[in-house]
Structure 1
Amino acid sequence: MADSDPNMGRDTLEGGRARSEAISWQELLAQDSRPAPAILTEESYEYRGSEPLDASRYTSEDFARLEREKMWPHVWQFAAREEDIPEAGDYTVFENAGRSWLISRQEDGSVKAMHNVCLHRGRKLRTEDGTADKFTCPFHGFAWNKDGSFDGMPCSWDFKHLSAEKMSLPEAEVGRWAGYIFLREEKGGPSLEEYLAPLPEFFKRWRHEECTTVIWVAKEVPANWKVTAEAFMEAWHTVVTHPQLLPFTGDANSAYWIYGDNVNVNHVPFGIMSPHVDPDGKTQQWIVDEFCKYNGRSADNYDAAGDPFAVSVPEGMTARAALGAAMRAGYSAQTGYDHDDATDAELLDGLVYNVFPNFAPWGGFMPNIVYRWRPGKTPDTCLMEVRIIARVKKGDPMPHGVPMKLLTKDQKWTDAPELGVLGHVFEQDMDNLPYVQDGLHASKTGKINLGDYQEIRIRQFHQTLDKYLGAGAAE
């Protein structure tokens, strides 16, 4: 029946692991209008223990120093997208954890990542993105070519002790995948593909290399970078923090899976009513109407008649199937690509992947969110970035990505209207995160307790972090 409740409750224990009494993610996908690929249905979970975490991981400068020294130089860091620097000579400045880099496109299309520091007196060579065949220091005029080789300096007679070979800018290792550019400061260790596995295999289906950045907003957050990132590693805070999403968000139907040390995912279904909502009198049409009304609230004078997703749910069809069909047709028309075999989940749901330590791309065929979190100058601040990438229409040239809009500390996410309803959601998170940071400083126990299933991604994250920092890092 069209109006039947898909969240038929039952008590399920699998392998000793408690689960929500709601319909599971896999059962939900089995009802979708297209067969789901194995990457979305094969569970990857393992119990990782239930021990508390030490609050000082988020507040201590000593712990932040260990991260800078032992973790950040040895991990693959998402530094840029290909469309940020499309032409030879284009460069972008990437800064993280006390380092500054020039990500520069070379004549042969390759990319180099060089330290953005003059080897004379230490001035940063560039502070803004741009195009240049040569990087000349504004202080004394020492100059480097775009490949990092030394070009020359004024008064060379006074620097006979410096050879051109010694003066090449130090380089980082560069890796490229699916339109993303990564760097690793210290060479050695797993290749980028090995580090990202199984993401490259999963994302073959969603082809992020065919996308460009259409929205990019960043804001300083008064909370540790891990506190902020972890707010986006679970959906179960929706019931309290984002109650307006419950009519069409299966928060308790979500799946939480981990892959090895570096990759994890939270699959969050949309187009389904939260098990926390009283289903009495709620129809499948009500779910669609609530979904469309909410997502249209960011537009002036929202008109359902002009919304291609404001569909009528036929008798015998679920809201998910109706929304999936509308999005299947809509995205096919917008992009010129055939989406006939795309599952409802790939068109509608939050397929939120994380790669250690701070890269979080969404999967699926819709415009995808890409998160990145970077530590601030103290453990109590960070920079949170939200990119949205969208598929370029088939046959069209790849356009330059939009530049990053940096909100001031006092601005709100809603001051970036291009984010739409996401800005309101992020502001609700901001109502928590500064007080989480304050609470961690004030904690009497100094301990953080995690759920075994819904917060498994957070536990995996910290266990991987400890592998870089060494035994006893949590104490």
Structure 2
Amino acid sequence: MTETLTGTNRSAGVAYTQLLAEDSHPVPEYLLRDSPLEEGQPTRVPVERYTSREWHDLEIEKLWKRVWQMACHEDDIPDVGDYLVYDLADLSYLVVRVAENEFKAYYNACLHRGRLLRQEDGKRARDLRCAFHGWTWNLDGTLKEIPCQWDFPYVNPDEQSLPEVNVASWGGFVFINPDPDAEPFEDFVGDLESHFTLLPYEKRYKEAHVAKVLRCNWKVAQEAFMEAYHVVATHPQILAGICDANSKYDVFGNYARAITPNGVPSPHLSNVQQEDPLPDTSPFKMRHPLTNAIYDTQPDSTVLVTHPDGRSGLFTESGSWISGDLGEADPHMCQWLAGKQLETDDQYWENRRGNNATDDNGSEELEAESAAEEMDKRMEQMTAAPSNGASVREIGAAAMREGLRPVLGDLMDNVPDAELNDSIYFTLFPNFHPWGSFNRIVYRFRPNGNNPDESIMECLYLAPYPQDGERPPAAPIHWIGVDDDWTEAPELGMLARVFNQDTYNLPRVQLGLHATKKEFVQFGNYGETKIRHFHALLENWVSRE
């Protein structure tokens, strides 16, 4: 492995600016921007920030009740009268489409005796009626009716409108801010939209939306998706096609950006002897890129690991030892190969076991595979073993360019290789994570109730569609259980299996934070720039009066 020398701010290997200079197409200005984190920002933060109920309560009062936050996508409430319940901890808001291009958000509570006005999302309401006693409001929040109003002589109807919270839109997303003195959203978001000029989020529709409760703090969850530093240990199967340690990080006001080049091998492989490719092209047998050990999945979903020195061992899909003179295996590699696969991959094992049973849901599988096709292409590129980084990037970009041409037409002629190959991922404080360029991913993380040890993770795919055609309907949110495998959401494609590797770590991080003797966690100067930037902003918010 190639390690960064202490005191430097980047790994050995190709710089991202060099890759941009080699691009086959002109590179837009926003990819060339350089805005490093200023000195003096935190490299250590207290463990209690992730574990204590007191800190959770502080975040609710000082952050969530005051900050701009994404509540929903406009596609979630497409028609006048549609509404969505946005919950965070014990806060609850009702976001309503009150006119074709107008949204309002209210505190989700009846002004009579406090019942929630709505417990779940709804369609085409003509008014908002409390199910307890029937107090009713118009969609614009004005009072419509009080049953037996004669019994409330002291109530002035003009003073009984539903209390509103601030609302703004960006890229087709609806943001709210409960603070009546909040800064204008335009000031808060800054020039974020300038990074999305080729394919703005307004020109996309919600193709997929998957949510899952995680057994970890919301910051633990989102920080796992704010850096590429974890790739070398958590996603070893993609090291041949991802330049993880040479990611570029920049900060801009309330948002930060990371760019991880794809189609270029990891610098961690520079000193590893590269062996010939395995003759068996099975997707369930791989050579570990760092150790050259061969991982071979068995029909019973165990993994036979053979080390170059001749030792071998049999392991479970989570990397636990079963037998053999090799005592340890990479749990993430075992999980990738032997863990639960996507429905389309299960056919491989049916054939290998001689099971000729057919699947009743063929049409649904084809639809899910189609929805995730682009993500699977990206993963195939990242797991390939390139011989020449620049040519692989050109080839990969050309394939993506032509794949999107039926939808976006001649626009694709202007798209550089970088925007089609690379992982460009933003964080708008505090918890909104849109990916840049032509990647469809958007993440959101938030507390789950008032338990600092649980959070909600959501992944959305925002896909382009022909602008001269009808906007496709939005995918409904698909909740999977806290103990469910991410492959229960096949609409995510190969990313579901990547999530399994990520979220395998997260509950164990949370448990470790409770177990540690240390009072703080610590971050790398450069590779964890986005996390350091986030905590600098968080400290500023919670310290305000």
Counterpart amino acid of residue 444 in structure 2: R
By how many angstroms is 1:337 displaced?
5.0
The answer as to whether partners of 1:83 and 1:399 remain within 8 angstroms in 2 is no
> Is 2:141 the counterpart of 1:148?
yes
Q: Could you tell me which residue of structure 2 aligns to residue 4 of structure 1?
A: none
Q: 1:400-439 maps to which residues of 2 (within 5 A)?
A: 400-439=473-512
Q: Give the corresponding residue for 1:179.
A: 172
User: What CA distance in whole angstroms lies between the structure 2 residues aligned with 1:258 and 1:430?
Assistant: 26
Q: What CA distance in whole angstroms lies between the structure 2 residues aligned with 1:29 and 1:279?
A: 28
1:23 to 14, 20, 30: 14
* SS of residue in 1 equivalent to 2:451: coil
Q: Residue 93 of structure 1 contacts residue 126 of structure 1 at CA under 8 Å; is this kept in 2?
A: yes
Letter in 2 for 1:250: C
Q: 1:424 Cα deviation (Å)? A: 1.2
Once structures 1 and 2 are overlaid, which stretch shifts more, 20-29 or 310-319? 310-319
Amino acid at match of 1:280: Q
- Name the SS for the 1:144 alignment partner: strand
Matching residue of 1:334: 407
SS in structure 2 opposite 1:106? strand
Deviations 1:428-454 (A, max 9, x none): 112111111111112212111110001
Contact 1:361 1:371 survives alignment (8 Å): yes
Conserved? CA contact 1:52–1:447, under 8 Å = yes
Alpha-carbon distance in structure 2 between the residues aligned to 1:160 and 1:182? 37
1:361 corresponds to which of 434, 439, 448: 434
Partner of 2:396: 323
Residue by residue, what CA displacement relative to the aligned partner does 1:52-95 show, whole Å, maximum 9, x if unpaired? 21000011111111111111122111111121112211111111
Is the Cα contact below 8 Å between 2:434 and 2:441 reproduced in 1?
A: yes
Shift of 1:181: 1.0
Q: Compute the TM-score of the two structures, normalised by the length of structure 1.
A: 0.88
Report if the CA contact (8 A) 1:105-1:112 is conserved: yes
1:28-427 matches, cutoff 5 A: 28-46=19-37, 47-49=39-41, 51-131=43-123, 132-260=125-253, 262-277=254-269, 278=272, 280=274, 298=342, 299-300=344-345, 318-336=391-409, 338-366=411-439, 368-376=440-448, 377-427=450-500
Task: For residue 445 of structure 2, give the secondary structure of its aligned residue in structure 1.
Answer: strand
- Measured after TM superposition, the shift of residue 198 of structure 1 is 2.5
- The CA deviation string for residues 350-370 of structure 1, in whole angstroms up to 9 with x for no partner, is 11000000000001124x101
Q: Contact conserved, 1:48 with 1:459, CA < 8 A, in 2? A: no
Tell me: CA distance 1:187–1:242, structure 2 relative to 1, closer, same or farther (3 Å).
Answer: same
Q: TM-score, normalised by structure 2?
A: 0.77
Structure 2: gaps of 5 or more residues: 278-282, 285-335, 349-369
The CA RMSD over aligned residues, in Å, is: 2.8
Structure 1 equivalent of residue 358 of structure 2: none
Q: Which stretch shows the higher mean deviation, 354-363 or 103-112?
A: 103-112
SS of 1:272's partner is coil
Mapped contact 2:193–2:200 kept (Cα < 8 A): no
Cα contact 2:217–2:447 (8 A) shared by 1 = yes
Bigger shift: 188-197 or 245-254? 188-197
C-alpha distance after superposition, 1:175-221 (max 9, x if no partner): 11221111111123432222112212222332110101111000000
Question: Which has the higher mean CA deviation after the structures are superposed, 272-281 or 219-228?
Answer: 272-281
Cα deviation, residue 50, structure 1: 5.5
Higher Cα radius of gyration: 2
Provide the residue aligned with 2:520 in structure 1.
Answer: 447
Contact 2:79–2:100 (CA under 8 A) maintained in structure 1:
no
Per the alignment, residue 321 of structure 2 pairs with none
Identity among equivalent pairs (%) = 40
Equivalent residues, number? 449
C-alpha deviation, 1:281, in angstroms: 6.1
Structure 1 residues 44 and 157: CA distance shift in structure 2, 3 A: same
Structure 1: gaps (5+ residues): 1-6, 284-288
Measure, in 2, the Cα distance between the counterparts of 1:51 and 1:317: 35
User: Who is 1:286 aligned against?
Assistant: none
Matched letter for residue 155 of structure 1: C
CA distance in 1 between partners of 2:118 and 2:495 (Å): 32
- Name the amino acid aligned to 2:274: D
> Are 1:48 and 1:456, in contact at CA under 8 Å, matched by a contact in 2?
no
Contact 2:424 2:436 in 1 (8 A): yes
Alpha-carbon distance between aligned partners in 2 of 1:282 and 1:207, rounded to the nearest angstrom: 43
**Alpha-carbon shift at residue 162 of structure 1 (Å):** 1.6
Q: Output the amino acid matched with 2:471.
A: M
Note closer, same or farther for the CA distance 1:42–1:12 as it changes in structure 2 (3 Å cut).
farther
Q: Which moved more, 1:146-155 or 1:346-355?
A: 146-155
CA distance in 2, matches of 1:190, 1:282: 58
Report the CA distance between 1:409 and its aligned residue.
Answer: 1.8
Question: How far apart are the structure 1 equivalents of 2:390 and 2:70?
Answer: 41
Cα deviations by residue, 1:24-75 (Å, 9 ceiling, x for unpaired): 1111221121122221122210333464210000111111111111111221
The CA deviation at 1:425 is 1.1
Please give the secondary structure, in 1, of the residue aligned with 2:268. Answer: coil
| Residues 1:61 and 1:10: Cα distance change in structure 2 (over 3 Å) | closer
Contact 2:263 2:389 in 1 (8 A): no
Give secondary structure in 1 for the equivalent of 2:151.
Answer: helix
